[in-house]
Amino acid sequence: MANARSAAFFDLDKTVIAKSSSLAFSRPFYRGGLINRRAVLRSGYAQFVYLAGGADHDQMERMRAYLQELCAGWPVNQVQEIVAETLHALIDPIVFEEAVALIEDHHAAGRDVVIVSSSGEEVVGPIGAMLGADAVVATRMVVADGRYTGEIEYYAYGPTKAEALLALADEHGYDLDASFAYSDSHTDLPMLTAVGNPVAVNPDRALRREAQERGWPVLTFTTPVAMRRRMPKVNDLPPRQRLAAAAIAGTAVVVVVWYASRRRSAVIA
């Protein structure tokens, strides 16, 4: 495809940041009165399980059902404020330096950077802006009268991530064969196989096996970096990236996911 643009698509959790982005906000949500102490403790346990082995399809479906119940009735404005106030304190310490360097390299090569995550736009949007991403794809919740209804409008998971890549390629003229995708999870195989340059990052066992069989690169990210020192301020970004960051930061949807139970068969990345 002559003169076509290309893009780099990044999964978020355990690919760009070291933990679950949604679970990271459990304590601020508790302090804001959105969840109770029991939910905080469950989120802490869920984070441990997630770090140990990730989540398979059945667990993701249980998470989706749980988040629908959990978020119902939350005021959108309050969630936005909590995320904005605590974003840097919570996310700064868990961003992988290797991922930030890759994002910078792709931008330098003229590629758009898109964060693609099953977490909610209210969380993913501000993180994407902080990272200097050009766009995000994330789960969207239905809002009525300024509150989340508990219904999911769009779930960015599995095949729907690949569909989002195809839609973005159609909208922006991306050549997917020349594009890149990065993920830690075998549930993102549809997204990885949608591009010409798939890369496994901190992969779970199933994705590592798949990557080895297909000859995909496998990267290990381990080093956290303080984003305020590492990334340029929004005002220092080029105009196109600055406008994208402003648009991303304004997105108003949240998903909090709870990893409810330990995997029966541990999957060690």
The whole-number pLDDT of residue 43 equals 56
User: Would you say 120 and 138 are in contact if contact means Cβ atoms under 8 Å apart?
Assistant: yes
Kindly name the residue from 13, 92, 112, 184 that is annotated as catalytic.
Answer: 13
Q: Looking at 30-39, 104-113, 225-234, 248-257, which range is the least confident one?
A: 248-257
Based on the residue annotation, tell me whether 134 is a catalytic residue of this protein: no
Task: Give which of 133, 111, 147 is closest to 252, Cα–Cα.
Answer: 147
Whole-prediction pTM: 0.78
pLDDT of res. 236: 46
Residue 243 confidence (pLDDT): 40
Q: Considering only residues 234 and 163, tell me which one the structure prediction assigns the higher pLDDT.
A: 163
The structure tokens listed for 5 are: 């643009």
**Which whole number is the average pLDDT over 237-258?**
37
Nearest to 72 by CA among 145, 123, 21: 145
- Residue-range domains of the chain with CATH: 7-249 (3.40.50.1000)
pLDDT tens figures, 55-103: 556 666 666 666 677 778 889 999 999 999 999 899 989 999 999 999 9
Name the residue with tokens 């995708």: 181
pLDDT band at 158 (very low <50, low <70, confident <90, very high): very high
Cα separation, 222 vs 225, in Å, equals 10
Q: Tens of pLDDT along 106-131?
A: 999 999 999 999 888 999 999 999 99
Q: In which band, very low, low, confident or very high, does the pLDDT at 150 lie, cut at 50, 70 and 90?
A: confident
Q: How confident is the model at residue 42 (pLDDT cuts 50, 70, 90)?
A: low
* 11 is annotated as an active-site residue: yes
Choice among 11, 92, 134, 204 that is catalytic: 11
Mean pLDDT for the stretch of residues 152-161: 92
